[in-house]
């Protein structure tokens, strides 16, 4: 039983994000991390490895060469090996192109479960898991708060408005999990040292039997505008007052905005 | 020769800082307030393999170089000085065995220490023998194939939570402390051992500082570390290396206070301006930053001498501990000054850091003892040391 966890390297949460002239995210000089929502997928996969439900965990990422750092960080948390798909033809890839590449890489890796987080922290499209499942023609088990794999099927526990459902599908599947999985583990020192010796392969598009034109120049979508979030107005502070005076000030502030 | 940290050092710092910021810093105020040893954080450090950095891989450790071990201590101390003592004392207690222990002793104890399953402590100081180590009075009497320990120790960090101790006792009182002292390994479940009392301290309040009593504690002779009579030498060689951990701890405390002062001064408005924009505050922050950096770099330079087993390593480690301890005291005091009234109350961390900093000028050799060591080395280098 084999899981491939698809992860994405993204700019650090809270990093100062800038755009290039062609409206792409400028990654130069910006600290990059594993997409925080993908860390829950890593944690879920490693829990299945810990309890013996699966035999191996592989990480897969599509991105620039420096995305190998994110794969090493994932390997430091646990798991066996990693694959980075990187190619200059992939610059500016959108969700469709990303899904196409991941689907081709997954065809080659042939896992029982391809696992993802629920969204990426930078684009927040949440489209890739579904697209990958459709392209590979396998079931999609999305937004799981827990994943189980046994007896030739995968099951996810999905929170609903009234409680939760367990949804099952025969293997192989694509699954995505949420931040309800449980806190991602920290990489241990031995994990970090061991990660340096774990296999990390780099594949190009040609290795996947794809050509740049298969990806329509990397994107079906076109970004027409992108701008940094406007700075928030400075925080108003109520200080150096007694509790009663401060409470009255807060009440006035809320009332002025018709919030109470 | 390079003065830049390696990629491995940078990576270790980032990993420990993340852990310390997320899991240790938020606990620091409560640890201080309750004076309770943070068993949860000891388990966390063990789980992350951070208590075995001074042990070899053959014993389940990670065998980090001494600069890396300093970075670990520094980053933990930046968040909480008490928690940084857990790896510091694990190394301090084990150093006598690392330096002089038998293979059998290493195989018996190091795997459990490297994994963090067991804690070890270093029991040298006595009520009447602090700086003057040679005036120790605790006795170890030979009885057939055993030794019988009687006496007491005081100010033993982690003495009440440790599973095993390295203990120094006189085997030949007539020969005095320098020639007649020996080192022993004592498991704390041995009958006759007790830790009846812990001190109430100004700082590092979560780290239990215990009084230990030994009442006919019987040990097999296999528990002697090194040869009988080598205790004083083993203790000094241990302290020559272990005091570097205190330098790293002091650097970490100073950095924590500096970071807190910068954050506060950037947030605080007075006279319609951010406090950090006043030049008077900037000058204070610049002094704090440059002095902390100087202490840090001296600590790393000393760490490199420890790994090289340099003949003059006491000169380096004592200089580092002296400079770093005084820097931590000065920087934390200035941090309190920058925070003003808010610096003096427990709502902000700098008053705790100021109290924690003071111990770095006292333990593992007072600053006055460090100066004696530096001066002795200095006179030897100059060829003007007093003879005899």
pLDDT above 70 (res A218):
no
Give the model confidence (pLDDT) of B257-291 as tens digits: 999 999 999 999 999 999 999 999 999 999 999 99
Considering only alpha carbons, which residue of chain A is nearest residue B17?
A186
The CATH code of the domain at B7-114 is 1.10.540.10
| Residue B143 or A24, more confident | B143
User: Smallest CA–CA separation between B254 and chain A, in Å?
Assistant: 25
Considering only alpha carbons, which residue of chain B is nearest residue A193?
B62
Q: Angle, nearest 10°, between helix axes B279-307 and B313-339?
A: 160
DSSP E strand boundaries for chain A: 2-6, 9-11, 18-19, 25-26, 32-34, 56-62, 81-85, 113-116, 140-144, 146-150, 153-159, 164-170, 173-177, 200-203
- CA dist., res. B361 & res. B381, Å (int): 26
Q: What is the pLDDT of residue A239?
A: 82
Give B-chain residues touching A191 at CB under 8 angstroms.
Answer: 49
Considering only alpha carbons, which residue of chain A is nearest residue B48?
A188
| Residue B227 or B1, more confident | B227
Give the model confidence (pLDDT) of B19-68 as tens digits: 999 999 999 999 999 999 999 999 999 999 999 999 999 999 999 999 99
User: Smallest CA–CA separation between A191 and chain B, in Å?
Assistant: 9
Give A-chain residues touching B12 at CB under 8 angstroms.
Answer: 189, 192
Binary contact (B48, A188; C-beta < 8 A): yes
Binary contact (B48, A186; C-beta < 8 A): yes
Instruction: Identify the residue among A74, A186, A237 best suited for mutation to test binding to B, counting B beta carbons within 10 A and taking the highest.
Output: A186
pLDDT above 80 (res A28):
no
pLDDT above 70 (res B388):
no
Considering only alpha carbons, which residue of chain B is nearest residue A235?
B267
Q: How confident is the model at residue B244 (pLDDT cuts 50, 70, 90)?
A: very high
- CA dist., res. A6 & res. A83, Å (int): 10
Q: What is the pLDDT of residue B1?
A: 66
A208-246 per-residue burial string, b: 16 or more CB within 10 A, e: under 16: bebeeeebeebbeeeeeeeeeeeeeeeeeeeeeeeeeee
User: Smallest CA–CA separation between A169 and chain B, in Å?
Assistant: 36
Q: What is the pLDDT of residue A223?
A: 81
Among B26, B17, B116, B104, residue whose Cα is nearest residue B349: B26
Instruction: Considering the candidates B74, B126, B211, B364, report the single residue annotated as catalytic.
Output: B364
In this structure, is the dihedral angle defined by the CA atoms of residues B102, B107, B108 and B113, taken in order, positive or negative? positive
Question: What residues in chain A have their Cβ under 8 A from chain B's Cβ atoms?
Answer: 186-193
Q: What is the pLDDT of residue B217?
A: 98
Give B-chain residues touching A193 at CB under 8 angstroms.
Answer: 62
CA B120 to centroid of chain Cα atoms: 13
In this complex, is the C-beta atom of B36 within 8 Å of any C-beta atom belonging to chain A? no
pLDDT above 80 (res A24):
no
The reply to whether B364 belongs to the active site is yes
Q: What is the pLDDT of residue B166?
A: 98
Q: What is the pLDDT of residue A260?
A: 86
Mean pLDDT score, B68-81: 98
| Residue B49 DSSP one-character state | T
Q: What is the pLDDT of residue A219?
A: 75
User: Average pLDDT of chain A?
Assistant: 91
User: Smallest CA–CA separation between B350 and chain A, in Å?
Assistant: 21
Binary contact (A189, B47; C-beta < 8 A): no
Binary contact (B49, A187; C-beta < 8 A): no
CATH architecture of residue range(s) B233-382: Up-down Bundle (1.20)
Considering only alpha carbons, which residue of chain A is nearest residue B269?
A237
**SS3 state of residue B277:** helix
DSSP percent split of chain A into helix, strand, coil, nearest 5:
35, 25, 40
Mean pLDDT score, A133-141: 97
**Interface size between A and B, measured as CB pairs under 8 A:** 23
Give the model confidence (pLDDT) of B113-133 as tens digits: 999 999 999 999 999 999 898
Q: What is the pLDDT of residue A20?
A: 79
Q: Which residues pair with A81 in a beta bridge?
A: A58
Mean pLDDT score, A109-118: 97
Give A-chain residues touching B62 at CB under 8 angstroms.
Answer: 189-190, 193
Domains located in chain A, CATH noted: 2-218 (3.40.50.620)
Mean pLDDT score, A89-101: 89
Considering only alpha carbons, which residue of chain B is nearest residue A76?
B15
Give B-chain residues touching A186 at CB under 8 angstroms.
Answer: 15, 18-19, 48
ipTM over 0.90: no
Binary contact (B48, A193; C-beta < 8 A): no
Domain boundaries, chain B: 7-114, 120-229, 233-382
Give B-chain residues touching A189 at CB under 8 angstroms.
Answer: 12, 15, 48-50, 53, 62, 64
Q: Which among A186, A190, A192 has CB closest to B11?
A: A192
Mean pLDDT score, A228-239: 79
Give the model confidence (pLDDT) of B170-180 as tens digits: 999 999 999 99
CATH fourth-level superfamily of B120-229: Butyryl-CoA Dehydrogenase, subunit A, domain 2 (2.40.110.10)
Q: What is the pLDDT of residue A217?
A: 65
């Amino acid at each position: 039983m084999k899981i491939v966890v698809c992860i994405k390297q993204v700019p650090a949460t809270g990093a100062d994000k800038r755009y290039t002239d062609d409206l792409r995210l400028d990654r130069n000089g910006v600290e990059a991390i594993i997409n925080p929502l993908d860390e829950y997928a890593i944690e879920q996969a490693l829990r299945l490895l810990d309890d013996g439900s699966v035999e191996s965990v592989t990480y897969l990422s599509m991105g620039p060469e420096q995305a190998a750092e994110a794969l090493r960080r994932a390997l430091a948390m646990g798991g066996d090996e990693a694959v980075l798909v990187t190619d200059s033809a992939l610059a500016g890839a959108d969700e469709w192109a990303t899904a196409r590449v991941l689907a081709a890489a997954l065809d080659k890796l042939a896992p029982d479960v391809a696992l993802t987080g629920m969204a990426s922290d930078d684009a927040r499209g949440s489209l890739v898991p579904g697209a990958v499942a459709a392209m590979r023609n396998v079931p999609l088990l999305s937004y799981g708060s827990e994943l189980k794999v046994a007896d030739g099927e995968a099951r996810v526990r999905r929170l609903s408005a009234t409680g939760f459902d367990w949804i099952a599908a025969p293997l192989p599947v694509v699954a995505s999990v949420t931040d309800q999985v449980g806190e991602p583990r920290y990489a241990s020192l031995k994990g970090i040292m061991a990660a340096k010796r774990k296999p990390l392969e780099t594949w190009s598009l040609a290795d996947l039997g794809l050509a740049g034109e298969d990806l329509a120049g990397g994107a079906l979508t076109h970004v027409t505008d992108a701008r940094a979030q406007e700075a928030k107005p400075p925080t108003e502070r109520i200080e150096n007052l007694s509790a009663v005076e401060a409470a009255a000030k807060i009440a006035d502030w809320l009332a002025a905005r018709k919030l109470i | 020769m390079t003065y830049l940290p390696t990629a491995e050092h940078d990576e270790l710092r980032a990993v420990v800082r993340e852990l310390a910021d997320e899991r240790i810093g938020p606990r620091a105020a409560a640890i201080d307030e309750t004076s309770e040893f943070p068993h949860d954080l000891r388990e966390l450090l063990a789980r992350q393999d951070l208590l075995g950095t001074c042990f070899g891989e053959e014993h389940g450790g990670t065998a980090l170089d001494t600069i890396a071990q300093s970075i670990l201590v520094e980053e933990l101390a930046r968040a909480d000085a008490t928690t940084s003592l857990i790896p510091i004392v694990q190394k301090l207690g084990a150093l006598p065995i690392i330096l002089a222990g038998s293979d059998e002793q290493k195989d018996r104890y190091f795997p459990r220490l490297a994994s963090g399953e067991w804690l070890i402590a270093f029991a040298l100081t006595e009520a009447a023998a602090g700086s003057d180590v040679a005036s120790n009075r605790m006795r170890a009497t030979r009885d057939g194939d055993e030794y019988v320990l009687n006496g007491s120790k005081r100010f033993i960090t982690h003495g009440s939570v440790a599973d095993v101790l390295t203990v120094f006792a006189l085997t030949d009182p007539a020969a005095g402390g320098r020639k007649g002292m020996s080192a022993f390994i004592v498991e704390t479940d041995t009958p006759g051992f007790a830790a009846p009392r812990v001190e109430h301290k100004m700082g590092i309040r979560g780290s239990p500082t215990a009084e230990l009593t030994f009442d006919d504690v019987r040990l097999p002779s296999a528990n002697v570390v090194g040869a009988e009579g080598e205790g004083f030498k083993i203790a000094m060689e241990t302290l020559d290396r272990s005091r570097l951990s205190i330098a790293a701890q002091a650097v970490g405390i100073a950095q924590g206070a500096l970071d807190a002062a910068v954050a506060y001064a950037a947030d605080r408005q007075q006279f319609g301006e951010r406090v950090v924009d006043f030049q008077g505050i900037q000058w204070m922050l610049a002094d704090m930053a440059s002095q902390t950096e100087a202490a840090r770099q001296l600590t790393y330079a000393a760490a490199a001498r420890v790994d090289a087993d340099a003949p003059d390593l006491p000169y380096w480690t004592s200089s580092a501990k002296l400079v770093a301890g005084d820097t931590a005291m000065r920087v934390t005091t200035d941090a309190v000054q920058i925070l003003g009234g808010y610096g003096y109350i427990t709502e902000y961390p700098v008053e705790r850091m100021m109290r924690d900093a003071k111990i770095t000028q006292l333990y593992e050799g007072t600053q006055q003892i460090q100066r004696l060591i530096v001066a002795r080395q200095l006179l030897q280098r100059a060829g003007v040391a007093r003879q005899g």
